[in-house]
Structure 1
Amino acid sequence: MEELQYLNPTELLEKIYDTLCSEYEDEAHYDNEKDKQDIEVTKRRLTKKVFNEFVVDDEYFLTMDSKTFKERYHLYEKDLLKMITGCSENGVPYEKFIRIIDDLLASANHRLNAFEQLNEEITRIKTEKEQEEQESEEVIEEESEEEEEA
């Protein structure tokens, strides 16, 4: 299996994902409305458990600081849940599933990197402007001192 860039899959992730896939398979065998409702609840809970089991930079989504999660992954939460559902509903093999999730996490990280680059560039520009203003003030002060001496 090719190396993943961002997702650090756990053994539990694979087990939960496999269980979720089996719930989708089993669903076709139930006719009772109560059983179907129970399966829906189970699928929703397992989907959220899969999501919470994602580990990026040694941090689980479940235990990640809310500020960090919001900054990095909040915009991708619906997409990640949609990917989990789409993959498990259609029986996408686990190895392919984690590659798909890793690709989406890569997108989130590229977005974060772009904003970090923007912030760095803004800081650089502000620093240059401050230096230019300071140099201009020094030149004006020197000219002023020269005029007073003359």
Structure 2
Amino acid sequence: MDDLKYLNPTELLEKIYNTLCSEYEDEAHYDNDQDKQEIEVTKKRLTKKVFNEFVVDDEYFLTMDPKTFKERYHLFEKDLFKLINGCSKHGVPYEKFLQIIDDLLACANYRLNAFQQLEEEITRIKAEKAQEDAEPEAETAEEETEEETEEESEEE
């Protein structure tokens, strides 16, 4: 998985994903409503476990600081679940599944980067404006000092 840019897959992620795919395959063989309900619960639980097993920047989604998660990935949460469900339902091979998830995580990182660039630009503009505002004050103070010096010279 050297071509992944953001997702750091774990051995457990592969096992959980394969189990989830298996649940979708098995579902077709059950007619009993009770069995179907149990499989549905299992699929939901495994989907959540797959999601929680995602590791980005050495942090699991499960244990990631909620503020960090909200800032970086919250907007993509529904999409991530949709991708997990779609891939596992249709038996997308694990390696392709990782690529798909990694692509969505790339979008999240590009979004974060864009907002960081915006903040940096706002900080730069404010600093320039503060410097420009300070310069006229310094010039005015310098002119007043020169005028006072001229007046003193004229009085002598």
Aligned residue for 1:103?
103
Matched, 1:124 2:101: no
Partners of 1:149 and 1:86 in 2: CA distance:
81
State the distance in 1 between where 2:44 and 2:136 align: 63
Gaps of 5+ in 1: none
Identity of aligned residues (%): 77
Alignment-derived partner of residue 63 in structure 1:
63
In the alignment, which residue of structure 2 is the partner of 1:77?
Answer: 77
Report the 3-state secondary structure (helix = DSSP H, G, I; strand = E; otherwise coil) of the residue aligned with 1:133.
Answer: helix
1:105-133 per-position Cα deviation (integer Å, ceiling 9, x unaligned): 00000000000000000000001111111
| Paired position in structure 1 for 2:153 | none
Structure 1 match to 2:25 = 25
Aligned to 2:154: none
In the TM superposition, residue 2 of structure 1 has moved relative to its aligned partner by: 4.8
CA distance in 1, matches of 2:2, 2:99: 9
Structure 2: which 5+ residue stretches go unaligned?
151-156
- Which residue number in structure 2 is paired with residue 14 of structure 1? 14
Partner Cα separation in structure 2 for residue 92 and residue 62 of structure 1: 24
The alignment's C-alpha RMSD in Å is 0.8
Give 1:127-146 correspondences, 5 Å limit. Answer: 127-146=127-146
What is the CA–CA distance in structure 1 between the aligned matches of 2:72 and 2:130, rounded to whole Å? Answer: 31
How many residues of Structure 1 are paired with residues of Structure 2 in the alignment?
A: 150
TM-score of the superposition, structure 1-length normalised?
0.98
Moved more, 135-144 or 92-101: 135-144
TM (norm. structure 2) is 0.94
Q: What does residue 112 of structure 1 align with?
A: 112
Asked if residue 88 in structure 1 is aligned to residue 52 in structure 2, the reply is: no
Counterparts of 2:71 and 2:17 in 1: how far apart (Å)?
Answer: 26
Tell me by how many angstroms 1:149 deviates.
2.0
